[in-house]
Amino acid sequence: MTALHTLLLLLVALAIPGVINRTRACLAGRRGIRFLQHLYDLRLRLRKGAVYSTATTALFRTTPSVYLGAAIVASLMIPIGDLRPAISFDGDFVCMAYLLALGRLALVLAAMDTGSAFEGMGASREALYGALVEPALMLVAGTLALATGCTSLARIFDPATLPGARYTIVLLLTTYILLKIVFTESGRVPVDDPRTHLELTMIHEVMCLDYCGVDLAMIQLAGWLKTAIFSLLAADTLAATFCLRWWAAAPLAVALTGLSVGVVESTQARNKLVRNTIFILTIVALAALAFFTGYLLQLNIGLA
């Protein structure tokens, strides 16, 4: 079962970028690139060597490995429907969140290590958005723990511990919050635009300007895994309301994120930087509302 979990996780991570590209192309009325074009690009980068500036230290060189390693370990804690993850223990949601924070910290420090003003600017924005979205993640963890009485992701999404129908609204709101977090953590419109090359408006991409070849490939793969992590959490939460099975959760994760991101990027413009803070704080407010509602339901207090 561990091998099946790992295979499905990898397939979800690699399929989401393709669905996003195809959705954007269909909505724009054009043919678009191949579904697997991002994998061909990844293969090209893996074949290339890395070039390092003389101004950087060993920190810059080891960051891609740390970033990818943290994403891999964190992804192994995420269940896929009723399919148990490879790593599971009480409080693993918190460990998963801070593993991703470790990867973000390493990337921020590497950007500052280059001595570039542009990369330092992107690093400060990434640190700010990461600090703002972290309370939302913890509130989501608290909401799921309240609804199920468990603190392990594998037990939270175990069919035997699923909450009753009265938690349906809470689970749907939590799914919406996790989808919003996907846009922030993966650097997608309206928070960021991975296709832009204007340093003054870039956030995540500007921190990777000095990376190339295999290092850039590892960073991109880690980003796909991060997107898959939050997509699977959203799919698991939504599937918990009607059909918590691995064969339903994995396609649901691809469809939820792929279609949502594709539609948003085709119909909306990127936010001004000053509005991103409001966007993320809105996510935190919604997470607090979901947690408070779940707490009232836990106490059997009517909401009418």
Residues 6+ apart with CB under 8 A from 192: 202, 203, 204, 205, 270
Mean pLDDT over all residues of the chain? 92
Q: How many Å apart are CA 78 and CA 137, to the nearest integer?
A: 14
Q: Is residue 36 part of a domain?
A: no
Q: What is the pTM of this model?
A: 0.95
Q: How many Å apart are CA 238 and CA 229, to the nearest integer?
A: 14
Q: Is residue 304 part of a domain?
A: no
Q: How confident is the model at residue 82 (pLDDT cuts 50, 70, 90)?
A: confident
Q: Please, what sign has the CA dihedral across residues 144, 148, 152, 154?
A: negative
What pLDDT is stored for residue 212 in this prediction?
93
Overall domain count for the chain: 1
What DSSP line would sit under 202-245, residue for residue?
-STGGGGTT--HHHHHHHHHHHHHHHHHHHHHHHHHHHTTT---
Q: Is residue 37 part of a domain?
A: no
Degrees to nearest 5, angle at CA 96 with 224 and 286: 85
Q: How many Å apart are CA 93 and CA 134, to the nearest integer?
A: 12
Q: What is the pLDDT of residues 245-294, one digit of tens each?
A: 888 899 999 999 999 999 999 999 888 888 999 999 999 999 999 999 99
Q: How confident is the model at residue 303 (pLDDT cuts 50, 70, 90)?
A: very low
Q: Hey, what are 297's tokens?
A: 């339901």
Q: Is residue 20 part of a domain?
A: yes
Domain encompassing residue 186: 2-30+53-298
Q: Is residue 181 part of a domain?
A: yes
Q: Which of 23-27, 91-95, 137-141, 193-197 has the lowest mean pLDDT?
A: 193-197
CB distance 234 to 23 below 8 Å? no
Q: Is residue 275 part of a domain?
A: yes
What pLDDT is stored for residue 118 in this prediction?
86
What pLDDT is stored for residue 199 in this prediction?
61
What pLDDT is stored for residue 197 in this prediction?
65
Identify which of 11, 12, 18 has the alpha carbon closest to the alpha carbon of residue 40.
18
Q: Residue with structure tokens 């295979």?
A: 7
Q: Is residue 46 part of a domain?
A: no
Q: Is residue 267 part of a domain?
A: yes
